Chain A
Amino acid sequence: MDNVQILTGNQAAAMGARICRVQVVAAYPITPQSSLMETLSQYIEAGLLKSEFIRVESEHSAMTVCISASSVGARVLTATSSHGLLYMHEQLHWAAGSRLPVVMCCVNRAVGAPWSIFNDQQDSISQRDTGWLQIYCRNNQEIIDTMIQAYRIAETVNLPVMICYDGFILSHTTMPVAVPTSEEVDEFLPPYKPHTILDPATPKNINPVIFPNRKINHEGVLCHAYMEFRYLLHQAALNARRVIADVSREYAQKFGRDHGGLLWTYKSEDAEILVTSMGSLTMELSTAVDILREQGVKAGLVGIRVFRPFPRAEVAEAFCRAKAIIVFEKDISYGFEGALSSDLKASLYETDIRIPIANYTAGLGGRDIKARELVAAITESLAEIKNGTNEPITKWLNCYTG
């Protein structure tokens, strides 16, 4: 019998960390992450979670503490948003290059200048080249379930995982959340066994300076150089597609909830038009799909759950039967287009799928997005696609553009 609690996204994440028995938590306050760490502080100080809690003096140090604690074999957690994530950027690279299963919640928030405390996804999406896996959650149930899956994925592929969920929209909104027990989670999560050896019995030097070319060491082993380790990281990230799908399936079998693995679909089987997005915006889009269906438009939705590794093959399969694709995303790669749009187009390029794609940047700096606005945009784009005036340039939803 599920223990259903009414939780905010941040509370769901904190509860997830608790039932995963994290051993070291390090974080720095930032809106809208703060209540996640406050909840965890309560758990730890009340003895509900046995964990070291390092109240670091910056986000950069938060990630650093996670890296070294994970290196000696502790299961770790940190969380941040926006500028906090940007501040630890250097350490994101370091964690991935170290091949450590650090798990972090990114409570998505816009970045400055100028300041915004409200939601968009520019923060996490601009970290897509760091080697971190990225999973975008659409509701609070998915947050807690993804926390549990994340440790399993991270500790299997030896890569850090970023769990992204929209600031305020999910972090501060209450929803019913079924909470597994620690014992159920223990069955799903074997103890973490690090590949790094930091042990006085076997002295090793970890992550020193490395040459460009391979060298034979003092034991006659032909050792990797920088490029080989980068290749291994990339292969691990690619391999993670299969691991994420497997873990998601196994989780669904054990806990009865399936969030779709790499991506999920809604009313897509006979859809002529497919809309797509990541995170909580997919819920708004599913309402828009319902409205369009009532209007006689055969619309469907593809929710991209995993952004890195990008589900190249799954995307081709999911979109191939549509006549039009409309992408909505809360980010922009200045001077080009939205990141999701680019990755989607790149995935379709090597197939023979040539479907018109319209792309929208939406909700930057927390601008609210209503289902009817999405419906209006989709309708307009469909009309343009139909009369051949659709352009590949990014449109800005509900934004004054002169």
Chain B
Amino acid sequence: MNLALLLGLTQALALTMSVAFVTYVALIVVPYLRHKRLPGGDPTTLEWHFFVPCRDEETVIGDTVAYLRQTFREAHVWVIDDDSDDRTAEVVMGLRGPRHGGTGDQRLHLVRRQRPFARTGKGDALNSAYRELKRWLGKHADTDRAIIVVVDADGRPAPDCLEVCSAEHLFGNPRVGAVQVDVRMSNRGTSPSAGGYFKRKFGSALVRMQDLEFRSAIAAIQLSRGHTGTISMGGNGQFTRLSALDSIVEGAGPWRGALLEDFELGVHLLTAGWHTGFTVDTHVDQEALYSLRRFLTQRTRWGQGTMQCARYVRRIWDSRHLSTLGAAEMLYYLAQPWMQLLGTLIYPIPFVLLGIRATHNPTEVWEWFSGGAWLLFATYGSFGLMPFIIWGPIYRKKCEPDKGFFRGLAYGFAYAIYIYTFYITSWRALVRLIRGHNGWTKTRRNTEAGHPVVALDH
């Protein structure tokens, strides 16, 4: 292939990918901006069980359990201790009190896992709690009424979340098997306590970007998925009907072994014929990461999880429960890390070729550039950046109306830079996939600064 052909091909592919993305963003922004709060339902018609998977969560679990028990008095809380090395289990047992004699908290449960069967993944931990719950409920329980809520050890579901999730369009509809709620970052606007001026500023900005990403871009994607029937589940603030979980049990339970076990669960529910819902009318708060290193580690894991889930493409497209538009949407999502890899290979080619040409004939290239080609760069640059920049003002308008317009714009530019980290994490994820490194330890929380391990294979 000659250089002109290669240039034409790469330019056209880059244009197609950019145009596809711009169009996609334009389509998802509309339902997000138009969204109006819907009426809630009666949470007493359902039975609520919080699952809190824990691994060395001594620093946060006490407050989380206290919050859940005080805020949702009728709900059960199931703490899953994944053989913690710290005092996680002791903290929970202390809060529970004596199990017998009726003096302890009968709605607080501890599911203990022991090595070598522990620490094999979040999905396995959730399956343990699922089996324990099934035993506790007995054979004649009304599994359509029981709702499982997966919450992180530092998660804080909003007080109105049960009411919102009971709404007619969510669990009020018997066909809805799972609901994902909006995720917010509890430490947005809070600087990290340690580090110099620039490190703290950077940490705050990173947290803000995570909040922006979840509350605007991801929320918009999820709302638009309401039209394609492909709303996916997240790891935190994930509500699932027990009968839906029962219908997809395979082996040890409903959760499977992918690193993105939440997305995987959604795939199984959707292909089994359940509907899924998403709402921004309530939320769950979680702590965002201040550290870029830990952030990249987390996102590499997510990227690798998405790559692993490529094995479900055939299942998705074979399913008669998913429309072609829905299957195409899920394929587009699963293709994202691969398209990022392709993008890092394709996007630089025109620039490299231009650089080579400029080296051989700088005058000609300069005349070409100053004679109007700069406008071409500006046009394509704008189309490349606009789909990211717009989320800044949108986030300000919908989530942080007290902030100024220019702050919103600055968020947008910062978000454009933030997104480019995914090109790094996708490559890291690919390398791990090729090497067969499929296991991870949990991502360290901000309060666990002293722990030396960030993420390793097990």
Q: Do A and B bind each other?
A: no
